[in-house]
Chains A and B, each alone.
Chain A
């Protein structure tokens, strides 16, 4: 197979260059139908994964011969319900050929999207995937009948065993626009006097707000009627081409069901969290990062880089401080990105991809929906929250899965304020043990949980708009494919690094300037009355808070040697946990949620940390 696109690591742009005659082949399908396996088979290793312009949705593109192949996020229909759909919609509307991957076991659901794209009149080939699983479950799918009813080539495939890839590729030239409803097409033809393309006409008729606005055509929405009519047509196709089994649900099904019942679900979730914490929080954040950051970066790489820079700038000037000082643009960026973040990111994506491919995540969402609705979120928000205990930076990126910007903001703020990351948790646990554990640890946990709930309730009240309800399809449980997990991890890691490096350079530059101008030391002196007078901590504790601006665990670490008593430890820990998130997360929050929101969270967390810390100090003093 020929794959001539540039390697992802140095391409740097969202699109793959292609000759003018190239076709845009777009892979479309519901979530969890095996689309990415087709994409990998069609394009090989040299693909470009980047965010679709103006969004945070990742789109993969690659080359197959002269043609460009684009992968789209999994969707159930084309419209503007969320970011994934918006991105998929725009790519689909520009497609020359669609490869629609459908799950042979769930055709009632999958063919709705198929029929919608056929109604747009875009040439299509259907890859009827998982025919082996359908057979096992007793679902008989007649591919020939399906092809006749839809009017497009239908190729049976088993993507996990690489069966049918060549046949789908060969069928691309036979792609056709297939069958639609004559009455609907008549109406679309009428509309073509006012809009440019048939896909556009359909979405305008379905009252898609974004497409209507873009086309400048506003007509009365007929989405319900069109959807119901399309549903009828799909059901007719399924009735004719699919033989339904008669039997009881199998083991997977029963296990999947048990996982959303509290009695089974909570212990399994607790065990999963424990494993994740041990892997990311203890092993990778501790042992691996200790080696990569401490031994490799600070031991060898940083001195080497300092030596190089020294030769050019000498060691006394401002240039040296900026490039290689305490917050050196070169040294801090390299150490943080490759020594600290890289191992965390790889571990994180390995676990995430495994959970994602297993079908377990939606079940966690179902299990925790009740808790999350109380704070203006729905069950899906549990996923970033859990990940936040590993690393807030990474977890902030996964808030992309939430249904509205309102929910993403609430979740991001909750994590930034009240969830301690693994690096910090390690120090917190050690300090609590030093304080004698027991009552102090309980008080700490109780205060943090109450604050978490209060922030959630307050944000739910204050933020305009309404959060979305949980409405998800629970995919069957599956054993993840190691290769797929590795490929996903690789691409996501590369994309992450490519995106964050610039932010780190900027952050390091800012800190260096603050230090050189004396602003950092000024801040330390400024904080002293607060720490001593209000929190009742020794003056040296203000150092811990200033360091906390950089990394939360730096801050907590600074509290070790102060000889604090039990109450002081409680006050210090509550304050430092609520205190600003580390520089890495601040930069990611800025990238994902914008400057104004980041500033509000940052200032809010400084205020809240000292407010709550002081209250705890005074209440504990009275007790």
Chain B
């Protein structure tokens, strides 16, 4: 599924970021492919907010659609 489909508040793992520049910038922020993050919330019709290590990162909607994620089962 894409980041846009992720349910808020659940941990998810980033599988792929289909945008060269955004992928590099995300690695700098610390949320590269393979990182487990929390999808914090989606602004209605707007961008997606994710959390990782006390950081909040905001991704525009069309970018969020190009980020593939999977949900992580909490043991």
Same complex: yes
Cα distance A473–B22 when bound, in Å? 12
Q: How large is the interface on A (under 10, 10 to 19, 20 to 34, 35 or more residues)?
A: 35 or more
B32, B54, B61, B63: the one contacting A370 at CB < 8 Å is: B61
A109 to B30, CA, bound (A): 6
Shortest beta-carbon distance from A383 to chain B in Å: 14
Given contacts A260-B43, A262-B44, A367-B46, contact A471 B24 (CB under 8 A): no
Asked if A474 and B62 make an inter-chain contact with CB atoms under 8 angstroms apart, the answer reads: no
A134 to B52, CA, bound (A): 16
| Closest chain B CB from A353 CB (angstroms) | 22
User: How far does the Cβ of B6 sit from chain A's closest Cβ, in whole Å?
Assistant: 17
The CA-CA distance from A257 to B54 in the complex, in Å, is 13
C-alpha spacing A469/B45, complex, angstroms: 15
Residues of A within 8 A of B29 (CB): 76, 109, 473
Contact of A367 among B43, B53, B54 (CB under 8 A): B43
A310 close to chain B: CB less than 8 A: no
Contact: A366 with B58, CB < 8 Å? yes
Within 8 A of A (CB), among B44-75: 44-47, 49, 52-63
Contact between A227 and B27, CB atoms less than 8 A apart: yes
Count contacts between A and B, CB distance < 8 Å. 118
Distance of A373 Cα from B40 Cα, bound (Å): 22
B24 adjacent to A224 (CB under 8 Å) = yes
Question: What residue in chain B is nearest A137 (Cβ atoms)?
Answer: B54
**Nearest CB on B from A377, distance (A):** 11
Check if B30 sits within 8 Å of A369, measured CB to CB.
no
Of the candidates B25, B30, B43, B44, the one whose C-beta lies within 8 Å of that of A471 is B25
Whether A384 is near chain B, meaning CB under 8 Å from some CB there, is no
Residues from chain B with Cβ under 8 Å of A369 in the complex: 43, 46-47, 58, 60-61
Contact residue among A79, A109, A373, A472 (Cβ-Cβ distance under 8 Å from B58): A472
B interface footprint on A13-43 (CB within 8 Å = 1, 0 otherwise): 0000000000000000000000000000000
Most buried by A among B49, B56, B59, B63: B56
User: Which residues from chain B contact A77 at a C-beta distance below 8 Å?
Assistant: 24-25, 28
- B residues in contact with A365, CB < 8 Å: 58
Q: Is A153 an interface residue (CB 8 A)?
A: no
Flag whether B19 is at the interface (Cβ < 8 A).
yes
Beyond A257-B40, A366-B46, whether A76 also contacts B28 by CB under 8 A is yes
Given contacts A261-B43, A370-B45, contact A471 B27 (CB under 8 A): no
Verify if A517 is at the interface (C-beta below 8 Å from B).
no
Tell me if A176 is interfacial: C-beta within 8 Å of chain B.
no
CB-defined contacts of A79 to chain B, threshold 8 Å: 24
Contact check, B32 vs A227: say whether CB atoms are below 8 A apart. Answer: yes
What residue in chain A is nearest B29 (Cβ atoms)? A109
Q: Is B15 an interface residue (CB 8 A)?
A: no
B44 to chain A, nearest CB (A): 6
Partner of A112, one of B27, B56, B57, B62: B27
Interface residue ranges of B7-52 to A (CB < 8 Å): 19, 21-30, 32-33, 40-41, 43-47, 49, 52
Known A-B contacts A109-B30, A378-B60; the reply to A223 vs B24 at CB < 8 A is yes
Partner of B43 from the list A253, A256, A262, A373 (CB cut-off 8 Å) is A262
B40 to chain A, nearest CB (A): 7
Contact of A113 with B32 at beta-carbon distance under 8 Å, contacts A106-B53, A366-B49 already known: no
Residues of B within 8 A of A (CB): 19, 21-30, 32-33, 40-41, 43-47, 49, 52-63
Beyond A77-B24, A366-B49, A469-B22, 17 extra complex contacts between A and B, CB < 8 Å? A76-B28, A106-B54, A227-B32, A261-B43, A262-B43, A366-B58, A369-B43, A369-B47, A369-B60, A370-B47, A373-B62, A379-B47, A468-B21, A469-B19, A470-B63, A471-B22, A474-B49
29 A-B interface contacts by CB (under 8 A): A76-B28, A105-B54, A106-B53, A109-B28, A109-B55, A112-B27, A112-B28, A139-B54, A227-B32, A231-B30, A244-B53, A257-B49, A260-B49, A261-B41, A261-B43, A262-B44, A365-B58, A369-B43, A369-B58, A370-B45, A370-B46, A373-B60, A468-B21, A469-B60, A471-B58, A473-B29, A473-B58, A474-B56, A474-B57
